[in-house]
Structure 1
């Protein structure tokens, strides 16, 4: 029997990367998974996490098909990097919508169903929400991920009276198709960042999802409002 046997999990952003690994792992742990992504396929219905109607329909369809939601894993996000003096307002708004509005919308529409099941919310922050960076211009990304961490704490506070727990996972440098295209590209100043990570390697999607499985399981029933940093110790040393 898996750690999530019989639970219904709604996971956003399951087309690839951490979301795809989460979908497969949660199913392996016994969960019924309803995925969603703007890049839909046979295993992942269409979902635009920045569009209120799309999120509402995704949640309601999950409930209609499976009767309930026990776990919301608000994984989906997208980012446009840039410094404060060069980033366009359009890119700022795009990043905050994709990384912060998305969490609000998913939590808002899952909330009444999670109240019925005394369920759990998992969000995805980042070490970018904890510290600044001199090697990556990311003002919008830092703002949005800092907001996700703060919002998760408030969700935990508001959810406690209903038996809802809410926790955040903040990854450091994780190898994904997205990070390989930008932060780990050969011409990016962060390409050799593994040498600054105490554990001596980049993270994997599996490293992140391992924590998500725990937070989604009954073993974490007394854990709420936490921000679990998954970065190999990167954020606790200098250079950060």
Structure 2
């Protein structure tokens, strides 16, 4: 039996990167996946990839996770198609980097809506269904949540991800009496299309990050998804309110000399 056999999993941000990896893996583990992304055609391609492997997925239409009505309709389409919801993986997000005095308030507000409000809207829309299924929620934090940075101006991103971690713990408290588990996966530096075009670009001060990671490499989307599958499965039945950092040990050690054995992959 597969680890998520027959579970209905709602996953946002399925067009690429960690969201696509999550969708493919959850389907491979037997979940019935309902995906969504503003990049609809790419999300549909993710659905096609699942179908080629014999999995089951649905991608109803373009999804704006900051639009309450759009999120509500997405959840209801999932329920209509599969009869309920067992897993919510609030993966989607977007960020505008900048220091406190370097970007307008609107950039801060956009990041907070995309990375924090999106989680609340998704979980709120699915909550009654999760109560019925005694399901679980996975949120996506970041190593930026508990820490600051000297190399990346990220006022809004740190604030939003810190809030996601706090929201996870509160939701775990509210869900526990009903058997609903809520946990957070916090990635470090993950090698994706987005990070290669920004934080890992040749002209960015963080482009040598892999040299400071104890395990000697950047993370891959599957590293994050492995943790998410565990937390969504019955193997984690006694785990709620957890904050699982997936960063190769990056946040576990103080700044210092680069890892001489580091490899960039």
Q: TM-score range by the shorter chain?
A: over 0.9
Aligned-partner SS, 2:40: coil
Aligned-partner SS, 2:144: helix
Specify the alignment match of 2:8 in structure 1. 8
Using the size of structure 2 for normalisation, the TM-score is: 0.89
Specify the alignment match of 1:75 in structure 2. 91
* Matching of residue 225 in structure 1 with residue 223 in structure 2: no
Specify the alignment match of 2:37 in structure 1. 37
Following the alignment from structure 1 to structure 2, what is the Cα–Cα distance between the partners of residues 26 and 190?
31
Following the alignment from structure 2 to structure 1, what is the Cα–Cα distance between the partners of residues 187 and 68?
26
Using the size of structure 1 for normalisation, the TM-score is: 0.99
Q: How many residues align?
A: 240
Q: Which runs of 5+ in 2 are unaligned?
A: 48-58, 257-265
Q: Which runs of 5+ in 1 are unaligned?
A: none
Q: CA deviation at 1:96?
A: 0.3
* Matching of residue 18 in structure 1 with residue 10 in structure 2: no
Following the alignment from structure 2 to structure 1, what is the Cα–Cα distance between the partners of residues 246 and 146?
12
Specify the alignment match of 2:51 in structure 1. none
Following the alignment from structure 2 to structure 1, what is the Cα–Cα distance between the partners of residues 40 and 169?
31
Specify the alignment match of 1:216 in structure 2. 232
Larger C-alpha radius of gyration, 1 or 2? Answer: 2
Following the alignment from structure 1 to structure 2, what is the Cα–Cα distance between the partners of residues 104 and 47?
15
Q: Over aligned residues, Cα RMSD in angstroms?
A: 0.8
* Matching of residue 168 in structure 1 with residue 168 in structure 2: no
Q: Deviations over 1:28-65 (max 9, x none)?
A: 00000000001112334311000000100000100011
